[in-house]
Amino acid sequence: MSDYEQLLEKAYSQVKVVESSAERFEIPKVQGSITGNNTFITNFAQIADYLRRDAQHLAKFLQKELAVSGRVDSQRLILKTKLNSAKVNEKIEKYAKEFVVCPVCGKPDTEVVSEKGIKFKHCLACGAKSPIKYSL
């Protein structure tokens, strides 16, 4: 095997693989219920997994955006107020736009990296690096 082929093999072994998908990026809609003055989002863990982000980070964002306290309880999010699902879905879409979707190519294949205290979205599809303006 030539030096070039060995280097190429080494490069391919270190590259992160992006799963390509023919379907459109569609965030699951929230499912839950309202009991008393609490809103329970039962598929919260599924939404966080779909976005490939930490559930605690998503919960903190929603609490800040909705101006409400809450907590993550195993697979669900409990918010201490009555909210309709449309408002919560709107905030989750805002989260995806700010923290997940690449502004250059529009694909959701990103990871959040931190360099010198500044957080960036690094796109695994096109390689772009975009600063995250929103702070939690």
- Count of domains forming the chain: 2
Confidence of residue 10 (pLDDT cuts 50, 70, 90): confident
Q: Which residue has the tokens 């690096």?
A: 129
Mark whether 117 and 76 lie in a shared domain.
no
Q: Is residue 131 pLDDT above 60, yes or no?
A: yes
pTM given for the model: 0.78
Mark whether 128 and 80 lie in a shared domain.
no
SS3 string, 52-101, reads CCCHHHHHHHHHHHHCCCEEEECCEEEECCCCCHHHHHHHHHHHHHHHCC
Owning domain of residue 121:
102-136
Q: Which residue has the tokens 């190519």?
A: 105
Confidence of residue 127 (pLDDT cuts 50, 70, 90): confident
Burial class (CB in 10 A: 0-12, 13-18, 19+), 68: middle
Answer for the pair 50, 7: CB distance below 8 angstroms, yes or no. no
